[in-house]
Chain A
Amino acid sequence: MMFEVSHRTTYTYAKPVLQSQHLVHMRPRSGPRQAVHRHSLLVEPAPTANVLREDYFGNSSTLMTIEDEHSELIVHARSTVEVRENDVPIRGLSSPWEQVASKARRADGELDIDVLQFMTASRHTRIVPEVIDYATPSFPQGRPILEAALDLTQRIYKEFIFDSTATDISTPVSHVLQERRGVCQDFAHLAISCLRSVGAPARYVSGYLLTFPPPGMEKLQGSDASHAWISVWSPEAGWVDFDPTNGIIPTNEHIVVAYGRDYDDVSPISGVLLGGSRQAMDVAVDVAVQKP
C-alpha cells in the first residue's frame, strides 16, 4: 500500500528565539517491508546549516541550525512511503523465551550485535521490581517468545486506559504501571521493559498509523498522530512488530520512521533554544492512502 504522510509541527514562543539547533527524526526508514519514494523536510525559518546523517541505529537524522530570530518554528515533513503486507508469523514456530534470553546473554560471534544491544535497559525502560511482577504472567515456562510478546501486548491493551493527560515524556514506567494510564509511548516503554526484564531483545519503534474516522464521519485534516510501538526479536522470524496501544500485530497500516532503545533515541524533534519561553506546540499529522 502507498501512503502519503504529512507531519507538521508548529512551535510558537512568547519571547523570540535568537538562535536554535535541532535534531530531527522524521524521514521514514527504508527496508525490506517499506520503501520511501519521496521525502521532503520544510523548515521555516530556513536553517543556516543542515546536516543529514545516519545515526547509530541506522535512522536518518537531520541536524539543523537556525540563526534568524523567530517567534514561530514550522517543521513540515512529507513522505510518500510504500508498505508491503506483513505475513503475521506463525506463533508456535518461535523459540521458547528462555532460549532466546540465554542465547542473547553472551555473544559468541553468531548473534548480531545490533540485536543484542536491544536487551539492555535504558533510561525510559528501567527494570524495577514492579515491571518484573507485571511481566511474569506472560512468560510461563517454555512459551514461544512471539506468543509471549503477543500476550503481553494484549494484556497492556486490555488493562490500560489511553489517556493523554495522565503522563508526560518523563513519566517513569513504574508510574504508568501504578496509574494504568498513558499514551502509546508509555505502553511501548512498558512492554519493552517487561521483555528486557526476562532477557529478550526488544526495541522501540516510532512512526505513523493509518486511522479511520468513526462510521459515517469525514476524516478530519490533521487528526492523525505520530505513533509508537515495539519490535521483538526471535531467532526464526527476526524482528516482529507488536502494537500494545491497539493490541495487534501491525500488518500494513504502520509506517516505520525510526528504531531505538526508547523514545530518547528517536524523538521526532528535539532542540536547544537560545531565548524563547513558554513554547506552545501544535502537531498536525495526516496519513492518507494514495489512490492507485
Chain B
Amino acid sequence: MSSSMLAADVGTREFAQGYRGRPGVFDELVDDSGTIRPHWQSLLRELGAIDPATLALRMEQLNVRVRETGIAYDLFSDPDSATQPWRIDLVPLIITADEWRALERAMIQRARLFERILADLYGPRNMLASGAIPHQLVFSDPSYLRPCHDLRPTRGYLQFFACDIARGHDGRWRIIDTHTETPAGVGYALANRMIHTGIAGNIFGTCGALRLVSFFQQLQASLTRRANRADPAIALLTPGQRSNDFFSHAYLARYLGLMLVEGGDLRVAAGGVSLKTLHGLMPLDLVVRCIAGAVADPLELDSTGFAGPVGLLQAVREQPDFMANALGAALAENRGLSAYLPQLAETLLGEDLLIPDGPRWWLGDAANRQHVLANLEGMVIRPAHEGTARPGRAIPGIDPVRLQRDEHDALLREIEIRGASLIAEEKVGFGTTPSLTPTGLTAKPYALRLFVTSTSKGDFAVMPGGLAMTVDPDMSVSLNAPDGESRDVWVIGDAAPPPFTTLWRPASAAARIERSPQDLPSRAADNLYWLGRYTERADWLMRKLRVCLGRLLENTAPRQELRASRIALQLPLAKDDGKVPPEWQPTDARLIEQLAHNLMTSMDWAYGLPRTLDNIHRVAGLTRDRFSPEAWHMLNDFYVSGRWRADALPSATADSLRLLDDGLRLLAAFNGLTHENVTRDFGWSFLDMGRRVQRAYGLAELLLGIFGKADSGENESGSLLFALELTDSFIAYRSRYRMASALPLLLDLLLVDETNPRSISFQLAKLADHIDALPQSGGSGARIEEQRLALSLLTDVRLADVSALAEVDAEGRRIGLQKLLGEQLEGLPRLSDVIGRRYFNLVEKDARWVRLRSREQS
C-alpha cells in the first residue's frame, strides 16, 4: 500500500468521524456496528481530501446555483412570503449496483402492472366486476375520467412513471407513493444532477457513478416512436408559471428540445391539435402532458379548467397516442389500491409483487374502517388521491393523536361518510442517510423518487439515479420535505461507466424553431402587446395624476384649469361604468383630490392604477425571457418594493407626487432599455404596437373630452395649457407658436404633426409600419383588414383641416372634431381586435371561452 493511499484512508475516517445512525434504524452509510459500508469509501476519500474551507465554499456554491437556476423561484408567490426552500446536499445518496438492479426490476414490474390496471379500468373493467379492485374506490375517485373510457392508446398509458420509495427501520424498501399522471418532477432530478456535477464534477467522475443521459436518450427515442414520425413536432403542455411544478416543465422541455406550450396556445381543428404561431396553425404530433387530465378539456371534462384546448378529448379519441401520459392515467395514483396490488400482480402479471406499498387501509371498506378505528394511534389519515407532483410537497395528512376533541369527532364522522376517498397509513418510519452540515455529517431520515420511462420497444427503463429528500418522520409518511433538502442519487456501477454522450442534436427541428424570429408563438405576441398597452396606460395615468395633483398643490391654479383636470380623471372611470358617487361633488378641487386618491388606491376600478400595475406585473412575468434582467427589474420594482401597494400609498399630495415621479422614471427606464436592447423581431413589433394603440387612444379620448364642446375663452386656454403639459408638448408649442393660445395650433401639434412623438398621427404611422411588416400582411395591392384600417385611421388624421376642426356650431359643439376623434376611438379598438383575432390566443381582453349550460325547467 502506498503512503498516499494510507493518507486518504485516514481522511475517510476523519471525515466520517463522529457519524452515528439512530439506534435500530437502517442507515445508508454505516451498518449496525458503526462500520462504514464499502460503497461509500471512494466518496468519503474524495471529500476528506478537500480542506474544510473549500468544502464550505462548495456547499455555499451549490445553493447559489440553485437560486440562479430558479428551482425555488415562484414567480407569482406573494413577495412578502419566502420562496419555496430548495437546497442540495453536497453528499449524494449512494446505491450499489446490486441494490439498484433489485429496485430497477421492482420499478419496471410496477410500471407494467399499472399499465395493465389502467387498460382494464378504462376498458373491460374486469377487475371491478370480479371485486379484485373495490368498485367504490374507482367510482368515487374524481380522477376516474369516464369520458376517457375506451381511448385505448396503442403505445400504452404510461410514458412517464415514478415512485416515491423509502426504507423502513429494518432497511426493507416500501413504495410510499405512485406517480402516473405527469413526468412528476423529473426536471428537478435532472437539474440537481447538473448543478451537483457542476460544483462537484470531479468527485462524480472519480466515484464512477452512472450517468443519466442513457435514460433521457431512451425517453427521447420513445417519444419519437410514440409520435410515429421522423422529426416530429412535440410540445410539452404545462399549466403555466402558476403551477408549482413549472420549473421542472421548463427544464425538461429545454433539455429534450420540446416546445413549451400552454392550453391557450393550442387549438383543435380538423380533428388534430395545432400550435398557434404568428404564421398560423402548426400541427403537433405529440403532447407531453404536464397538466392534470381532469382539466384537459373544458368541453367534455371539468368545465372549470382551461388547461388544455377545447375539444381535446375528441381529437385524442381519433389519435389515441397523441398524449403522453394518456388522459385518465392519474387514476392509478389512488393510494387505496395499495392493499390490492399483490393480488393484482398475480392475476395480471402472474408474478409476485417485488416491493409492496407501505401498510395502508382504504377506508371505503367497512372491515378496514373497523380495524383503523380500533388502532387509530400510530395511523395517519390521508386523501386517497392527491394531485401534486412537485417532489417534497406531499400533504402530510392528519395525525389523529394531535387533534383536539372536536376535531377528532369531526374526523371520525368524515371517515364514516366519505371513507371511500380516504386512506389510513401506518407510521413505520424511515431509514437515514448522511447529510453534510456545517458541523459535519449527520444522519437524516429520507425518501427518494425514482423515475421510469417507457422505451421505444414498448417496455420500461429506470433512471439510474433519482431525487432523495429529507423527510420529517414525525409529521409524514410520504415524500414531504418541508425544508427542501434534496440530494442527488448515485448508482455506483460495477462496470466502467459508458462513454460520454450528449443529447444535443445539431440538425434538430426544435433548434431551428428556437432561432427563427418568425415562429413567435401567438401567446408571446399577445402578452407583449398587452405589456405595451398596460405600461402605456400606467404612464398616461401617472402623467395625468401628476399634472392634476401638481396644480392642486400649487394652489394658484385658476378655476378654469381644474375643469380639464376633472375631465381627465373622470375618463378612466367612465370606461368602467363607474359613475362618480353623488356625494363627491363639493368643489372641483375636492373632487379632483378624491378622484386622484381613488385612482391611485382603489382595486375597484379596472382602469385605476393598482389594477393596471398588477396587470403589468402579471404580463411582464409571462414575457420576462424576452428582456434583459435590468428591464425586468424596473417593472418588478412596482411589485416587490411594496411602495405601490394600495394600503401603503401616501395620503399627502406632495408624497403622492414624489411617488408618481418615481413611477414615471421607472417606466421611462423600462421603455428606454427595451428600446435599446430588445431585438427588432416581431416580439418588439407587438410590444410597440400595444404602446402606440394605447397612446393614440388616450390622447383622442382626452382631446374629445376637453375640446369636444366649446367652453368660455378662459376655460379653453386653461384646457389648452393642461393638454400641453400632459403631453410634454409645451416647449414645442411655445417655440413654434409663441404664446398664441389657439386651438387649431394645438390640434396641429397633437393630431397631425407626425414629427411629434406624442401626436396621434405619429402613433398611427408607427402602427401602420409595424402592421405592414407582419407575416400575414400583404403588399399595396392586397392589403388585409388591419392594414386598411390602420391606413384609413392615419389618412383621416393626415387630411384633417385643423381650422375646420376647431369651429363651433350654434349649440357650442365642435362637430368636425367630435366626428374625427369619435372615429378614432371606434377604429382603434377595432384595429386591436382584428390584430388579436389574427395573431393572438385571445387570452387577454373580453374574448374568452365561457361556459354555456342549459337547465331543466320543470
Q: A and B: real partners? A: yes
Say whether B149 contacts A267, CB under 8 Å: no
Are the CB atoms of B853 and A108 closer together than 8 Å?
A: no
Say whether B314 faces chain A, with CB atoms less than 8 Å apart.
yes
Distance A225 CA – B858 CA, assembled complex (angstroms): 6
Q: Mark B139-174, 1 if CB is under 8 A from A, else 0.
A: 110000011010000000000000000000000000
Q: Which chain A residues border B261 with CB–CB below 8 Å?
A: none
Tell me the residues in window 185-214 of chain A with beta carbons closer than 8 Å to chain B beta carbons: 185, 206, 209, 211
User: A265 to B134, alpha carbons, bound, how many Å?
Assistant: 22
- Whether A168 pairs with B855 at a CB distance below 8 angstroms is yes
- Which residues in A have their C-beta under 8 angstroms from that of B271? 49
Known: A56-B147, A279-B852. A117 touches B139 (CB 8 A): yes
CB-based contact B314/A109 at 8 Å = no
Assess whether A281 is in contact with B420, with CB atoms less than 8 Å apart: no
In the assembly, what is the distance between CA of A49 and CA of B847, in Å? Answer: 22
Contacts of B140 in A (CB 8 A): 120-121
Q: Which of these, A112, A211, A274, A279, contacts B848 with CB under 8 Å?
A: A274
**Cβ-based interface call for B125 (8 A):** yes
With A21-B299, A273-B849 as contacts: A226 and B131 at CB distance below 8 Å: no
Cβ of B857 and Cβ of A283 under 8 Å apart?
Answer: yes
A270-B134 in contact (CB<8A): no
Interface string of A136-179 (1 = CB under 8 A from B): 00000000000000000000000000001000110000000000
Q: Mark B391-429, 1 if CB is under 8 A from A, else 0.
A: 000000000000000000000010001101000000000
Which residues of B sit under 8 angstroms from A263, Cβ to Cβ?
Answer: 856
Q: A107-B129, A274-B842, A274-B849 in contact; A129/B299 too (CB < 8 A)?
A: no
Does B353 sit at the interface, judged by CB under 8 A? no
B846 contacts A277, C-beta separation under 8 Å: yes
Q: Does B521 contact A (CB under 8 A)?
A: no
A268 to B271 alpha-carbon distance, docked (Å): 24
A108 touches B131 (CB 8 A): yes
Q: Is the CB of A271 within 8 A of B129?
A: no
User: Which parts of A80-128 form the interface with B (CB within 8 Å)?
Assistant: 105-109, 112-113, 116-117, 119-121, 127-128
With an 8 A cutoff between CB atoms, is B135 at the interface?
A: yes
- A71: CB under 8 A from chain B? no
Interface of B is mostly: loop
Asked if A116 contacts B135 (CB within 8 A), the reply is yes
- Whether the Cβ atoms of B854 and A18 lie closer than 8 Å is no
Cβ of B420 to closest chain A Cβ, rounded Å? 7
Q: How far is the CB of A171 from chain B (nearest CB, A)?
A: 11
Chain A residues 13 to 29 lying within 8 A of chain B, measured CB to CB, are 15, 18, 20-23
Give the residues in chain B near A273, CB-CB below 8 Å.
849-852
Report the Cα distance A115→B431, complex, angstroms: 46
B383 contacts the other chain (CB 8 A): no
Contacts of A108 in B (CB 8 A): 130-131
Task: Check if B608 is an interface residue, CB within 8 A of chain A.
Answer: no
CB within 8 A of B858: which of A21, A107, A226?
Answer: A226
- Contact A65 to B311, CB < 8 A, known contacts A107-B130, A120-B139, A226-B857: yes
**B299 close to A272 (CB less than 8 A):** yes
Q: Name the CB-closest residue of A to B267.
A: A19
Known: A21-B299, A113-B125, A274-B848. A269 touches B854 (CB 8 A): yes
A44 neighbours in B (Cβ, 8 Å):
none
Minimum CB–CB distance for B493 against chain A, Å: 47
Contact call B135/A107, Cβ cutoff below 8 A: yes
| With known contacts A109-B129, A117-B139, A11–B858 Cβ distance under 8 A | no
Bound: A271/B310 CA distance, A: 9
Report chain A residues within 8 Å CB of B139.
Answer: 116-117, 119-120
Interface centre among B130, B852, B855 (most CB of A within 10 A): B852
In the complex, what residues of B have CB within 8 A of residue A57's CB? Answer: 146
In the complex, are the beta carbons of B849 and A18 less than 8 A apart? Answer: no
* Cα–Cα distance between A57 and B147 once the two chains are bound (Å): 9
Q: Which residues of A contact B855 (CB under 8 A)?
A: 168-169, 183, 185
Which residues of the partner chain B approach A107 to less than 8 Å between Cβ atoms? 128-131, 134-135
How near does chain A come to B768, taking the closest CB pair, in angstroms?
25
| Nearest neighbor of B417 in chain A, beta-carbon distance | A127
Known: A63-B314, A109-B130, A225-B857. A120 touches B420 (CB 8 A): yes
Q: With the chains together, A213 CA to B852 CA distance in Å?
A: 31
Q: Which of A23, A224, A225, A285 contacts B300 (CB 8 A)?
A: A23
Minimum CB–CB distance from A76 to chain B (whole Å) comes to: 13
Q: Is A225 a contact partner of B849 (Cβ separation < 8 A)?
A: no
What residues on B are CB-neighbors of A276 within 8 Å? 850
Q: Cβ of B270: which chain A residues have Cβ within 8 Å of it?
A: 49
In B88-141, the 8 Å CB interface with A consists of 125, 128-131, 134-136, 139-140
Closest-CB distance, B523 to chain A (whole angstroms): 15
B314 touching A51, Cβ below 8 Å: yes
The answer to the question of A256 belonging to the interface, with a C-beta cut-off of 8 Å to chain B, is no
Given contacts A63-B311, A129-B417, contact A245 B858 (CB under 8 A): yes
B297 to chain A, nearest CB (A): 9
CB neighbours of B125 from chain A (8 A): 113
Interfacial residues of chain B within 658-705, with CB under 8 A of chain A in the complex = none
Contact A113–B858 (Cβ < 8 Å): no
Least CB distance, A172 to chain B, in whole angstroms: 15
Tell me the bound Cα distance from A274 to B269 in angstroms: 14
Chain A residues near B849: list those with CB within 8 A.
Answer: 272-274
CB-defined contacts of A275 to chain B, threshold 8 Å: 847
Q: Which of B128, B271, B858 counts the most A-chain CB atoms under 10 A from its CB?
A: B858
The 20 listed contacts between A and B (C-beta, < 8 Å) are A9-B854, A21-B311, A23-B299, A56-B149, A106-B131, A107-B128, A113-B129, A120-B139, A120-B420, A164-B857, A209-B858, A211-B858, A225-B856, A227-B858, A267-B853, A269-B854, A271-B852, A274-B849, A277-B850, A281-B854
Q: What residues make up the interface of B, taking CB atoms closer than 8 Å to A? A: 125, 128-131, 134-136, 139-140, 146-147, 149, 270-271, 298-300, 303, 310-311, 314, 366, 413, 417-418, 420, 837, 842, 846-858
Using a CB–CB distance below 8 Å, which chain A residues touch chain B? 9, 11, 15, 18, 20-23, 49, 51, 55-57, 63, 65, 105-109, 112-113, 116-117, 119-121, 127-129, 132, 164, 168-169, 183-185, 206, 209, 211, 224-228, 245, 263, 265, 267-277, 279, 281, 283, 285
In order of increasing CB-CB distance, the 3 nearest A-B pairs are: A225-B857, A225-B858, A271-B852
